């Protein structure tokens, strides 16, 4: 990539040179709403650099974006995901390294280079900005953000970021940003010294050009921007951090602490954070060139790793779901302007909150009494206040938003509602009664959605005067945080109703999967055998902490016993009973559940569960639980066997859901498990996991367990088919 081609041929960069020699390169990737970096954009960008290097009339360069709302959002993930060969990745990234090095050299050798940043400046976008000599950003706290989120995709910043970021903001802060993948807003970026100056977006390009012009002829070391950044840079706290980083012993402490924390969270399941640490350390100890080389090698290795493949796969599935209408035909969604929420408890409050903060619709809460209404409204108030605190919203906008949510103890205000979401107690008779009441007051074309976690929607719809308008909208707790919405349709649900709810779920910020009705739908159902097996393991005398730590080690965010305490042992017992009625013996719960509920153990909510709770905090295992179960917890089971038994049942049930048409696709099954249940993302979801593990090997594992523990381990027919023909679930 050294040829100097005419910049007039550029496709993805708008290039212009002013009369006084200030060149402006606005990245504008054709055919895309957002800028991403892939080989096509890089080819054009190299031409820009070559032209600036060779054209004496060009005195300085401003790098900006031609898109209204984003600078560069990162690498093109479809392209990254398509890389199958480490050698190919290495050579492509080496070219990017060279271009960025030439950009950096342009600045140091006398032609100032200024990045003008508004909107997302993430991943490769931030790496590009850091290769520029100065960075001016818009002060738009909502739109503009900086980050290196590569770790979330199983890789590390591969275009120089692992070396340039620590140089700019210090090792500790750089490690924090790179290892968490979190992003920061302009105010913090300025404080950290990541950007030199901020200004209103309207004058961004003008200011950038002015700074570039002013810097012409100045030595590079003196071309520094804002005083504010320098002030923070010289603050005692920052100097202390620097002192630590400057000295080899201090650095060793810093790295070993970071490594300890990293292992605590990743359990060694994610190779990228470890690679980030190693590569940054190489740069700090052996110099930047060694650091760049280490970064390239690590990137090439990681980008073709199974973990990156799984994580990028999930990301791309999520993108595909954003475009999925949820139906196979072409029924159009109806407008949703006003939503009624029945029940202002944990779930109703959460739903009302995202209606307000995300979807921006008017919401009316109906509760049994004034305290209930107040509970729902306070939930919304707290969520809105959180947004203000994070500076995502002004207090004025927050006050305006709060006027859009109201509540009452009757159905006043329900006459013009488009969609009702029911979140009252989990009781079929109660759900029937509130549905019939509300159907008496809402418009005939309004939709009734239930947030039940286990009752088949068909059973709820059976009491409706318009079952074609009845649907399930299953949210997860806490609603404002969990990314998934599982929409459940019956044979009668009208396609426009489904399309409307899918569209509305997306407005609420959710990733939406649509599943067919059945006991436990998809997400609750696959938890059934998993939870039951925990009961069997306990009955066999396996220790609670061994079960939990095995599955956390396997990659779940919490162990299954802890999860049962969180969900409520009583709730879990109710659900598995429904499952047993539907699926027979193979879903029969162990006797232990009945013993626990008889002992009034409901889990965290009543402070009596598998663990002890004091002042709402989880403590040690409550050993008295073994007595209730009539077991002595002594059995030492191989950790691998715990992992194998629980994971095999979980994914086998997912296959049954696909086989029975509960799931529309294996993709939805992967996303549902990862986003709804915390299935380990680096395993990519149950179906991606089976493809990697091998269907035939899984069948063998299940059959082996079936001999030892019974028919509940029988492999699903569809799994056997895949085992026989060798076809993957995900192509
Ligand atoms: P909750 O007990 O926090 O809230 C239920 C609310 O419904 C209470 O505030 C109660 O006063 C109100 N209510 C009862 N009868 C009513 C009526 N006739 N009219 C209006 N309001 C009435 O329960 P939670 O956890 O919010 O659960 C609600 C529903 O969501 C249940 O069906 C549950 O299975 C489901 N769900 C719960 C999840 C969770 O993690 N808690 C997750 C997904 C679904």
- Ligand 1 pocket residues where CB is under 6 Å: 342-348, 366-368, 372, 423-426, 430, 434, 451-453, 474-477
Give 477 Cα–ligand 1 centroid separation in angstroms. Answer: 12
Give 355 Cα–ligand 1 centroid separation in angstroms. Answer: 17
Looking at ligand 1, which residue's alpha carbon is closest to its atom 36? 453
pLDDT at 699: 98
User: DSSP states of 223-255 as a string?
Assistant: ----HHHHHHHTSHHHHHHHHHHHSHHHHHHHH
Tens-place pLDDT, residues 302-327: 999 999 999 999 999 999 999 999 99
Tens-place pLDDT, residues 120-142: 999 999 999 999 999 999 999 98
DSSP letter (8 states) at residue 356: I
Range from 118-122, 236-240, 593-597, 714-718 carrying the lowest mean pLDDT? 236-240
Q: Confidence class of residue 635 from pLDDT cuts 50, 70 and 90?
A: confident
In angstroms, the CA 544 to CA 94 distance is: 50
Give 135 Cα–ligand 1 centroid separation in angstroms. Answer: 50
Total count of residues recorded for the chain: 731
pLDDT value at 267 more than 60 = yes
In angstroms, the CA 91 to CA 145 distance is: 29
Partnered with residue 227 across adjacent β-strands are none
pLDDT value at 599 more than 90 = yes
Tens-place pLDDT, residues 63-75: 999 999 999 999 9
Average pLDDT over residues 525-540: 94
pLDDT value at 229 more than 60 = no
pLDDT at 226: 41
User: DSSP states of 712-727 as a string?
Assistant: GGPPPHHHHHHHHH--
Of ligand 1's listed atoms, the one at least distance from the Cα of 571 is 34
Catalytic status, residue 337: no
Average pLDDT over residues 517-546: 94
pLDDT at 248: 83
pLDDT value at 658 more than 50 = yes
Give 422 Cα–ligand 1 centroid separation in angstroms. Answer: 8
pLDDT at 103: 97
Average pLDDT over residues 150-165: 97
- What is the number of helices (H) and of strands (E) in the chain? 32, 20
Of ligand 1's listed atoms, the one at least distance from the Cα of 477 is 40
In angstroms, the CA 616 to CA 312 distance is: 37
pLDDT at 6: 60
CA 548 to chain centre: 23
Q: Which of 351, 371, 424, 476 to mutate to test the pocket of ligand 1 (most atoms within 8 A of CB)?
A: 424
Phi, psi of 474, deg, nearest 5: -100, 110
User: Most confidently modeled of 211-225, 487-501, 595-609?
Assistant: 487-501
Looking at ligand 1, which residue's alpha carbon is closest to its atom 8? 345
For the stretch 414-423, what's the b/e string if a residue is b when 16 or more beta carbons lie within 10 angstroms of its beta carbon?
A: beebbbbbbb
- Name which residue leads in pLDDT, 197 or 226: 197
Average pLDDT over residues 363-385: 97
Give 359 Cα–ligand 1 centroid separation in angstroms. Answer: 21
Range from 119-123, 395-399, 712-716, 721-725 carrying the lowest mean pLDDT? 395-399
Range from 60-64, 274-278, 602-606, 653-657 carrying the lowest mean pLDDT? 602-606
pLDDT at 231: 45
Cis bond leading into 6, ω under 30°?
Answer: no
CA 125 to chain centre: 20
- CA separation, residue 710 to residues 307, 586, 587, 713 (Å): 33, 9, 12, 6
Looking at ligand 1, which residue's alpha carbon is closest to its atom 31? 426
Of ligand 1's listed atoms, the one at least distance from the Cα of 433 is 18
pTM given for the model: 0.91
**What percent of the chain has pLDDT above 70?**
96
pLDDT value at 630 more than 70 = yes
Q: What's the order of all strands across the beta sheet hosting 120-122?
A: 70-72, 120-122, 145-147, 183-184
Looking at ligand 1, which residue's alpha carbon is closest to its atom 39? 477
Spell out the alpha helix ranges (H) of 216-365: 227-233, 236-246, 248-266, 271-286, 288-303, 306-322, 346-354
Q: What is the mean pLDDT of the chain?
A: 93
pLDDT value at 489 more than 70 = yes
- Does residue 489 contact residue 495 with C-beta atoms inside 8 Å? no
Q: Confidence class of residue 3 from pLDDT cuts 50, 70 and 90?
A: very low
Torsion of CA 199, 202, 208, 213, to 10 degrees: -120
pLDDT value at 236 more than 70 = no
Average pLDDT over residues 635-664: 95
Give 26 Cα–ligand 1 centroid separation in angstroms. Answer: 51
Q: Which residues contact 640 (CB under 8 A, 6 or more apart)?
A: none
In angstroms, the CA 540 to CA 532 distance is: 13
The catalytic residue among 486, 566, 659, 703 is: 486
Looking at ligand 1, which residue's alpha carbon is closest to its atom 44? 453
Q: Which of 340, 342, 344, 347 to mutate to test the pocket of ligand 1 (most atoms within 8 A of CB)?
A: 347
pLDDT at 223: 55
pLDDT at 652: 98
pLDDT value at 593 more than 90 = no
Q: Is 357 left (phi over 0), alpha (psi -120 to 50) or beta?
A: alpha
In angstroms, the CA 374 to CA 381 distance is: 10
Torsion sign across C-alpha atoms 458, 463, 464, 467: positive
In angstroms, the CA 63 to CA 539 distance is: 65
Phi, psi of 539, deg, nearest 5: -60, -30
Beta strands in 66-207, from DSSP E residues, in sequence order: 70-72, 113-117, 120-122, 134-138, 145-147, 183-184, 197-199
Average pLDDT over residues 457-475: 98
Helix (H, G, I), strand (E, B) or coil at 365: strand
Give 423 Cα–ligand 1 centroid separation in angstroms. Answer: 5
């Amino acid at each position: 990539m050294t040829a100097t081609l005419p910049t007039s041929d550029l496709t993805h960069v708008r290039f212009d040179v002013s009369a006084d020699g200030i060149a402006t390169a606005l990245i504008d990737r054709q055919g895309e709403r957002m800028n991403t970096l892939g080989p096509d954009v890089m080819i054009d960008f190299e031409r820009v650099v070559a032209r600036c290097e060779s054209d004496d009339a060009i005195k300085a360069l401003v790098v900006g974006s031609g898109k209204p709302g984003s600078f560069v959002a990162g690498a093109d993930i479809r392209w990254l995901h398509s890389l199958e060969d480490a050698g190919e990745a290495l050579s492509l990234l080496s070219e990017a390294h060279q271009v960025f090095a030439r950009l950096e050299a342009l600045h140091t050798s006398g032609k100032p280079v200024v990045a003008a940043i508004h909107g997302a400046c993430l991943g490769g976008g931030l790496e590009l900005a850091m290769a520029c000599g100065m960075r001016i950003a818009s002060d738009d706290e909502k739109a503009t953000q900086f980050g290196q989120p590569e770790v979330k995709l199983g890789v590390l910043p591969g275009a120089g970021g692992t070396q340039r970021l620590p140089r700019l903001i210090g090792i500790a802060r750089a490690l924090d940003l790179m290892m968490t993948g979190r992003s920061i807003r302009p105010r913090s970026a300025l404080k950290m010294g990541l950007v030199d100056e901020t200004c209103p977006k309207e004058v961004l390009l003008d200011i950038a050009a002015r700074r570039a012009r002013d810097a012409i002829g100045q030595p590079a070391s003196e071309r520094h921007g804002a005083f504010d950044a320098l002030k923070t840079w010289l603050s005692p706290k920052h100097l202390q951090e620097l002192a630590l980083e400057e000295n080899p012993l201090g650095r060793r402490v810093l790295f070993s602490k970071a490594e300890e924390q990293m292992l605590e969270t990743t359990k060694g399941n994610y190779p990228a954070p470890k690679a980030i640490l190693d590569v940054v350390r190489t740069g700090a100890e052996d110099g930047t060139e060694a650091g760049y080389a280490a970064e390239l090698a690590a990137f090439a290795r990681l980008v073709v790793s199974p973990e990156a493949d799984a994580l990028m796969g999930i990301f791309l599935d999520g993108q595909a779901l954003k475009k999925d209408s949820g139906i196979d035909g072409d029924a159009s969604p109806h407008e949703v302007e006003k939503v009624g929420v029945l029940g202002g408890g944990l779930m109703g409050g959460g739903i009302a909150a995202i209606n307000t903060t995300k979807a921006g619709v008017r919401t009316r809460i109906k509760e049994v009494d004034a305290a209930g209404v107040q509970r729902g409204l306070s939930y919304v108030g707290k969520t809105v206040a959180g947004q203000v605190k994070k500076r995502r919203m002004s207090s004025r906008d927050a006050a305006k938003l709060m006027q859009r949510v109201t509540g009452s103890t009757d159905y006043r205000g329900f006459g013009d509602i488009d969609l009702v979401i029911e979140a009252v107690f989990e009781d079929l008779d109660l759900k029937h009664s509130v549905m019939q009441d509300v159907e008496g007051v809402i418009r005939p074309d309004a939709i009734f959605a239930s947030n039940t976690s286990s009752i088949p929607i068909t059973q709820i719809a059976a009491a409706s005067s318009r079952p074609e308008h009845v649907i399930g909208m299953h949210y997860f707790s806490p609603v404002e945080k969990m990314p998934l919405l599982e929409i459940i349709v019956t044979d009668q649900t009208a396609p426009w109703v489904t399309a409307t709810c899918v569209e509305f779920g997306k407005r609420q910020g959710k990733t939406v999967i649509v599943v067919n009705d059945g006991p436990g739908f998809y997400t609750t159902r696959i938890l059934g055998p998993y939870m039951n097996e925990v009961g069997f393991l306990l009955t066999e005398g396996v220790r609670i902490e061994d079960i939990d730590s095995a599955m956390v080690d396997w990659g779940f965010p919490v162990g299954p016993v802890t999860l049962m305490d969180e969900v409520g042992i009583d709730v879990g017992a109710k659900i598995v009973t429904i499952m047993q009625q539907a699926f027979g013996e193979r879903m029969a719960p162990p006797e232990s559940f009945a013993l626990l509920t008889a002992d009034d153990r409901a889990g965290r909510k009543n402070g009596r569960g598998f663990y002890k709770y004091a002042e709402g905090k989880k403590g040690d295992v409550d050993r008295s639980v073994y007595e209730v179960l009539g077991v002595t917890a002594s059995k030492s089971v191989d950790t691998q066997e715990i992992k194998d038994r629980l994971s095999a049942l979980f994914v086998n049930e997912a296959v049954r859901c696909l086989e029975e048409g509960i799931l529309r696709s294996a993709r939805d099954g992967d996303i549902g498990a990862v986003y709804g249940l915390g299935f380990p993302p680096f395993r990519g979801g149950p179906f991606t996991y089976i493809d990697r593990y091998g269907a035939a090997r899984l069948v063998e594992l299940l059959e082996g367990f079936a001999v030892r523990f019974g028919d509940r381990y029988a492999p699903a027919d569809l799994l056997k088919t895949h085992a026989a023909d060798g076809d993957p679930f995900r192509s």
